[in-house]
Structure formats: C-alpha cells, structure tokens
Structure 1
Amino acid sequence: MVELTGVALILGGGVLLAFGAALSVYGVALLGAVLGGGAGYLVAPTIGGAIGLSGAVASLAAVAIGVVAGVLIAYTVLSMVVAIAGFAVGSLLGVYIVSDLAGVSGMLPKAGVALGTGILLAFLAMFLTKTALIGITAFLGASFASTQLTVGSFETAASDLTVDPLVVSLENPIFLGLFALGVLTQFGLFKLGWVGKIAGALPGASVIRDRGEQEPAS
C-alpha cells in the first residue's frame, strides 16, 4: 500500500506540476485532495481512536476522509482552497527560511516566521489566484515528483508531531528544475491560449484569472 501511495504521489505531483492551474477547478480539486489527504494522514491516530480504528485501516480511513473533504471544499469555494494551500506552502517556506537559511532554532522563531509567510502567501492567493495557483501547484508538484515529499515524510511528521520532515529544500537541483519547468509550462499554456481549450473540454471548468485580469480578446 505504501509503495502504491508513493507512486500515486509522484504521478499526482507530475499532474500538478504541469497542469495544476490549467485544469481549472479540476486542478484545484486535485490540490484539495492532496492537502486533505495529507492532513488526514497526519491526524490519522486521532481520527482512528475516535472511530475505533487503528494502524493501516485508521490511516486509510483518515486519508479518505481528508481527500473527500478537500475535493468538496475545492468545488464549493475554489479561492479558499488556493488561500489555504498558499498558507500551507508559505508556512513551510517560513520554516525553511528560519531553519536552513538563517540557521535559527527554537519553536517560537519558526512559528512566528511560518505564520507570517503563510498569511502573506494566503493573502496574495486571494487576489492573484491564477499566479498563486501556478506557483503553488508547481511547488507541490515538484516536491512530490522529486520525492522530497514522500509517504515517509508524512509518517515521520505524524509520529514526531513536527512539520520539519515536510520542509522542502530549495537548494535541491532536481526540485528547482522541476519547479521552473512547471511554472514555465503553466504560464506557457495560459499565454498560448491552450488553457481555454482545456477548460472548454472539461465539464464545469473555467479559465482561472487573477483579480482584475481581463479576458484576452479572441
């Protein structure tokens, strides 16, 4: 099961990396599923205890609940999911800045910077939805596709009650290459007008734009 989950994370990361924003609400739904499933995995022991399950069954149930919740929220309030994802990614970036770049240790500095960067990115995501979604999906997609975020990362984070295993190293060349490729690919899809064609072929999809951005003339 762990191996299949790992493969699914890599494949899902590849889709987010190249087509996250281009897939409109479908991409956001996938983002919601990833975030919801990850959150469910982290709180699996708590949920399992509440419903009388344990071990792999509890993890599977928690992930399933998280995935369903993430997808439902994505379809209901798209901008909220992007903002939540922005907060999550921003917080992890804050921890990386404090721990790896500044070399500062301690819970208080980490929490303070993580909260600040998380709120900042979440705020920007509410106004620059398309731009933020491209960056967020490329970041998470590259993290999964480069195996910087794995099932083991979530297992360690859940068992040790810390987010440190989920912090991605921005100095990893594979991650950087994939992230750049994802950003360029997604902006290219928008620039070439292919996103409109993709959205037109998907039921209920629409072209995601930044607030105030005008629809290009045909």
Structure 2
Amino acid sequence: MTNTKEYISETKDVATFFHGYAADFDSIYGHTKKRSSWDKFLDKYFRVSMRLRYELVLKYTATNEIRTILDVGCGGGVYCEALLNAGKTVTGIDIAEGMLQLAEQKTAQYITEGKVNYIHSGYLEHPFSQQYDAAVLVGFFDYIKTPIDTFKKLEKEVTKELLMSFPKSGGFLGWQRKVRYKMRNCPLYYYSKTDLESLLGQMGWLNKAEIIDIERDFFVRVTL
C-alpha cells in the first residue's frame, strides 16, 4: 500500500512539474510551441515509443464495443482529442492544471457538445460515479511508485480494457531522463518485464494481459 504522506508529496511534485512543463511537453505531439531542429531529431530517433503507444491506443479502441473511455493522466489532451475524433465519449483526469487548460483548448467543441469532461484531481483521490468501457494510462505509471493501488481502483471502474504504458528500466537514455527529472524534483519510476509480470500476477491479470515491447516502453493491454 502507498505511504500516504509520501504519496501526497510526490503527487504535488509531479503536478508542479507538469503545470510548468505543459507547453513544452505538448509540443512533442505537434501542438503549442514550435519544435526546434534538435527537438525534431529527438522525436524521430528517440521518441519512437511515444508514436507507437499512440497508434496502439487508437488501434485497440477502434471497436464499437468501446464507447466510453477514461484517460488517466490525460495531460494536454492529445489522446482525448484523437479518441473524440474517433467518436468516443471521454473523461480526462489530471493533476496538472496547465495541462488541463491545453486539453480544454484542443477539445472545446466537444466540451460544448457534452462529449468530454475534465477533472482536476489525482486518480486515486477522485470517486467516479460511473464505469467506463476502457481506460487509457499512457505516460502515467512513470510517476507512480505503487501501481497496484491504481490497478485495484481501475478494476472497479473499467469493464472491458486497460491500455497502459510503462517506461523500461536500464539504458543511457533512461538514466539521462532520470537525472533530468531529479533536477526538477519530479519522481520517476522504471519497470522491467519481470516487474510487470509480477504486478499483473498479483492482480490475477497475467493470463488476460499482453505485454508489447515498444522501444523505450512496454505497452500493456489487459482485457477485463
């Protein structure tokens, strides 16, 4: 179980980091700030996993059986926008106010139509009054020390599919990212395939899960 004080402290650190980093982070997907030549080089050669996990989410949600989607750690709304464009109804939740402002700007039309709503909160703290067909947690577990707490809540609130990413442990780029985030006082956690198998096993999900190696991440699909 999560140590409450430690969890609250880390949540605040992550929220502060991403509120200030919102425009820079969002520009990776082609929004807000113009990308420099160096940033474009990094996108092409070192951020392949970001594109792959995006494509996988759209692939696995492209079914009529999945209509309502919860985007946990929705950030600037990149996935929300794509899912809305695909005809889904979406709820996005994030702890960084700056990120949610970007998401609202991107999807303003869908907000007016009642197709999307955003919640400024940590996932564990927010009580949901409905269940969702699927949940997307991409770039979320990078900042979560004890995923089991999140898994247990998801099991109650999602009925069909979980689509999740986990950053791989090891490698120079992983070490470099760890140092960079530490300098900004933002926690960061990595996972091996063995770690994921252990976590999924604790939930009884191992036979329901698919673990896909996508460059610097693992993409995990769980069919509930």
With the length of structure 2 as denominator, give the TM-score of the two structures. Answer: 0.24
Larger proportion of strand: 2
With the length of structure 1 as denominator, give the TM-score of the two structures. Answer: 0.25
Larger proportion of helix: 1
Greater relative contact order (CA < 8 Å, ≥ 6 in sequence):
1
